């Protein structure tokens, strides 16, 4: 007869993190540059706000969702005399891949705080996983560049390696299986997009949303640091509100603020709390 396991009261076993806007590429600039270049190659200009809308999705799906926007559909109709179809999206994705690889290579600098989090995890035998909406053929340079800076996750999953990307939980669940996690309540998903947070929630994990280093603010580290405290707060507050309404367990500015959340999760787990 099957017996249910006792309530989990152990420590955090694994941290699963996104890439752009979470651990590298402050401001999540690489995808935006890629999408804007892609549509410009079709003589269609898209705004940064439009490009950021589906952020977190698998990149072909991201392109499809952009093509569903009424303004972009109308611009496509005017340019080509028809609406974009699946063949157009397939061709655009093929063209997008080299553009994205180039943009990723130029922006794969670790975000301040990642090294401290990795040390915290190493000292506690916490395993590190990573996943991304990037296709697997886009990330070899990213992995190499991150490794040069001291970051090599023990598990890496791309959206193209599972049947469905975010907000479905399949990438994080694959990470958890590869890392040998005993209980999903012992996992923490850290992400800078709502679909990434939804992924963690749907997987039954704790979630930490990063409001200022990624998609919601969209500024490079240099531009962010150049803002006054009052200007930063104007960007920060809407992002915090969005993630709190979206169900994130914790919302902080950047990965540099995540350790205090991880320590609080450790305390809550010891009390028998679940995500």
pLDDT at res. 1: 43
Burial 46-76 (b: 16+ CB within 10 A, else e): beeebbbebbbbbbbbbbbebbeeeebeebb
User: Is 24 in a helix, a strand, or coil?
Assistant: strand
Q: Give me the residues paired with residue 129 across strands.
A: 16, 155
Burial class of residue 210 (count of CB atoms within 10 Å of its CB; 0-12, 13-18, 19+) = buried
For residue 249, give Cα distances in angstroms to 87, 175, 191, 261. 40, 20, 12, 9
Assess whether 95 carries a catalytic annotation. no
Assess whether 18 carries a catalytic annotation. yes
| Closest residue by Cα to residue 166 from 203, 136, 211, 129 | 203
Q: What domains can be seen in the chain, in order of their start residue?
A: 14-28+109-270 (3.40.50.1000), 30-107 (1.10.150.240)
Beta sheet of 250-252, edge-to-edge order: 155-158, 127-132, 14-17, 187-191, 206-210, 250-252
Runs of H (alpha helix) within the chain: 29-40, 48-52, 59-67, 70-80, 86-107, 114-123, 140-148, 170-179, 194-202, 221-226, 229-245, 258-270
For the chain, the distance separating the N- and C-terminal CA atoms, rounded to the nearest angstrom, is 28
Q: Which of 59, 189, 191, 257 is catalytic?
A: 59
| Closest residue by Cα to residue 254 from 227, 221, 231, 205 | 221
Q: What distance in Å separates the CA atoms of residue 234 and residue 236, rounded to the nearest whole number?
A: 6
Asked if residues 121 and 15 have their Cβ atoms less than 8 Å apart, the reply is: yes
pLDDT at res. 2: 43
Q: What distance in Å separates the CA atoms of residue 236 and residue 224, rounded to the nearest whole number?
A: 11
pLDDT tens digits along 127-162? 999 999 998 989 999 999 999 999 999 999 999 999
pLDDT at res. 56: 83
Q: Which residue shows structure tokens 């990624």?
A: 214
pLDDT tens digits along 97-121? 999 898 888 899 999 999 999 999 9
Q: What distance in Å separates the CA atoms of residue 86 and residue 223, rounded to the nearest whole number?
A: 38
Q: What are the pLDDT tens digits along the chain (275 aa)?
A: 444 556 899 999 999 999 999 999 999 998 898 999 999 999 999 999 999 999 888 899 999 999 999 999 999 999 999 999 999 999 999 999 999 898 888 899 999 999 999 999 999 999 999 999 998 989 999 999 999 999 999 999 999 999 999 999 999 999 999 999 999 999 999 999 999 999 999 999 999 999 999 999 999 999 999 999 999 999 999 999 999 999 999 999 999 999 999 999 999 999 999 99
């Amino acid at each position: 007869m099957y017996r249910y396991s006792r309530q989990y009261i152990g420590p955090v076993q694994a941290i699963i993190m996104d890439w752009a806007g979470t651990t590298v590429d402050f401001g999540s600039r690489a995808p935006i540059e890629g999408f804007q270049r892609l549509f410009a190659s079709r003589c269609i200009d898209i705004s940064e706000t439009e490009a950021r809308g589906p952020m977190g999705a698998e990149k072909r799906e991201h392109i499809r969702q952009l093509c569903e926007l009424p303004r972009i559909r109308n611009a496509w109709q005017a340019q080509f005399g028809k609406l974009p179809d699946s063949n157009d999206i397939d061709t655009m994705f093929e063209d997008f891949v080299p553009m994205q690889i180039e943009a990723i290579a130029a922006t794969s600098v670790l975000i301040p705080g990642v090294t401290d989090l990795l040390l915290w995890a190493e000292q506690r035998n916490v395993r590190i996983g990573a996943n991304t909406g990037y296709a697997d053929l886009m990330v070899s340079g990213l992995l190499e560049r991150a490794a040069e800076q001291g970051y090599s996750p023990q598990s890496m999953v791309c959206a193209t390696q599972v049947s469905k990307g975010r907000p479905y939980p399949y990438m994080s669940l694959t990470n958890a299986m590869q890392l040998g996690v005993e209980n999903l309540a012992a996992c923490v998903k850290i992400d800078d997009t709502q679909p990434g947070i939804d992924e963690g929630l749907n997987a039954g994990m704790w979630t930490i949303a990063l409001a200022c280093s990624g998609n919601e603010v969209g500024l490079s580290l240099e531009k962010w640091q150049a803002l006054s405290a009052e200007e930063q707060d104007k960007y920060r507050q809407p992002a915090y509100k969005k993630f709190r309404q979206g169900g994130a367990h914790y919302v902080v500015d950047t990965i540099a603020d995540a350790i205090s959340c991880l320590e609080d999760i450790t305390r809550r787990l010891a009390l028998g709390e679940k995500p």
